[in-house]
Structure 1
Amino acid sequence: MEGDTVTLHTGLTEVQTGDVIDWRFGPNAILIARVNRAAGTTKLYDDVIGGRDRLYINQQLGDLIITNIRTELSGLFKLSIHGRNKEMRYNISVFPPVLSDKTDGVKTVSVMEGDSVTLHTDVTEIQKYHLIQWIFRNIVISSIDKTSKVRAIKKHNAKPFLNKLEVDHETGSLKIRNIRTEQCGMYILQMNSSTHTIHKRFNITIFVVCADTDAVKSVSVMKEDSVTLHTDLTDIYDEILWMFEYEDSLIAAFNRIDQNVSTYEGDDGRFRDRLKLDDQTGSLTITNTTTEHTGLYHLEIISSRHTLHKSFIVNVCSM
């Protein structure tokens, strides 16, 4: 994704004295970096790819690190190690962010205390990565080793995340349940393959509405009155989904791309002509409530990088 950091690996365990390493880019194989170990020099030509301080070299391994990558860097990268007569090619595809805001390599996620959030890897071929790590405050909090298919949560750092973390073994995405202020800050995703490493950064900010907020918010309403379940969003995300009860029956949805608002009557028709979905905030209003509308409502706020989860218990009082 645009704004991420990617490292292209040479496959070396150490750069030797006689090695000259060239990194080139594009159909004309423009030189963008050279490591000459014999001369003791490293030269970066990142101005030819549209900006400075974007390229770095791992001096021990010769790996090329590209930070804050842009779509114009999609294409062929070529590695030549002259002292060893070794060549490798890497084809990079950089996708623009789905959201309209500009990215600087860090995706900011704002979430209310007590809610849940899922940070997405945005990887469709996760089997290419043999190690996927989530890092918080320089400590690995969760990892998937694809060679053994075992998830490990570091015991020494389990306390702030005790019973709060879920990792999707198909996508590598990280879900944090019932989030608290001590979990705010920078999360780093590192995905390692044999040829490259991808880094993604997520900055989670948490806002508190009241001191005793819970993961599930309770709302009471008198029968025949209306009740609005608020998303607490100022701007809509890519998709909003509202579900009812534990079987998660879809009752309302909003798609930002095609501006499509949909409401559903429910499996037994209890929501017929009673639902209104705000296309600006995603908040759901239930009109002319009855006791049949008492229950658990689940909200998913979906974007390209993360999904926010909120739950509401609605109590409809007859008197």
Structure 2
Amino acid sequence: MFHRFFFCLWHLVGVLGFANEVSVRKGSSITLNSGLTEMKDDDLIKWRFGNKNMSLAEINKQTDSMTVYDDVLDGRFRDRLKLDNQTGSLTITNTTTEHTGYYKLQINSVTKYFLLTVYGEKSVSVKIGNSITLNSGFTEIMEDDLIQWKFFDDPILWWYGYEYILIAEIKKWVNSITVHDDVLNGRFRDRLKLDNQTGSLTITNITTEHAGHYKLQSKYMKIDIFFTVYDEISVMEGDSVTLNSHFTEIMDDDEFRRIREKFLDDQIHWRFLKTLIVKFNRRVDKIIVYDDVLDGRFRDRLKLDNQTGSLTITNMRTELAGDYKLKITGAKPSSITFRVSVNYSVHCCGSTEAVIRLVLSALVGVATVILLVYDIRSRRVEQDQE
């Protein structure tokens, strides 16, 4: 009962705005200032964290003692807390999302509150058809928190006033989980799993339509995740390979289609590493092939399917191995990276060289047999002599 009362009290403090709100980028350091320039000889300072009022650090000037409890809460503060012996300010280094929440500073009979928010961004990549878990960084969600996962495949549209699409959320105070997997014409249907304890989001059976920008928001944290999809392809030297765009006819709702057609060029871009090799403007039906780039290694080797956006490369060589990135903008956005490897093939050589290699291999085999027979006969002669 007391714990619940304390939780409600802390929540009320945040709502009424009594807490000093501070934010820090994930991995950086933050100092929660006590407001003192110098402590007095009889001062007692205590730092506490979270709705469980967990002790983090304290300074007792009367006994000239300073204590840091950095092993609490499964050690999330271990080797991260620094206490200023002169001012009583608390510094947290190498912050993670687990350090978000309310901090309570008690100076004798005076109490201050701090609300710390950690924000950050990261990039993840997953092979098409696989699953991935977008980690929240939490080990446990706070009891008053609201966790929301949002998605946009074209973040540029945000500048035109379009919000990210809500795909999943947790309202911890009522212990409810909602997955909005029917949005965007059902591209997430039966693919989303939300962890009620940590707020992490799992996406199964990944397709190119799931590439884009994911945003995790809570009361105490913000994380931007840039998500890309890749495929792995192996081809024999001298053969041709087609990089399938996995392009589908699934469309977003009419509103998003119209805004894309209005502001974004309907184009297909293929890049090798960072170099543009093919550009196709579907509005004017114009294809430009940059096959003279990179010392002409792609010359007369590139062919684009203007219906699907797939790219065919003929007469593959080892110098053509690497990452190929497809970017489709406009009414049907898509993005995927192909990691192409080229294996050595015997038919890359001329027929004469192949015959010579076969003859040499046969001669080596015959010589090995002769040596083996000679060795066996020599041993038999030695045995007969004995």
Provide TM-score, normalisation by structure 1.
0.40
Q: Which has the larger radius of gyration?
A: 2
Q: Greater RCO between the two (CA within 8 Å, min separation 6)?
A: 1
Structure with the higher helix share, 1 or 2: 2
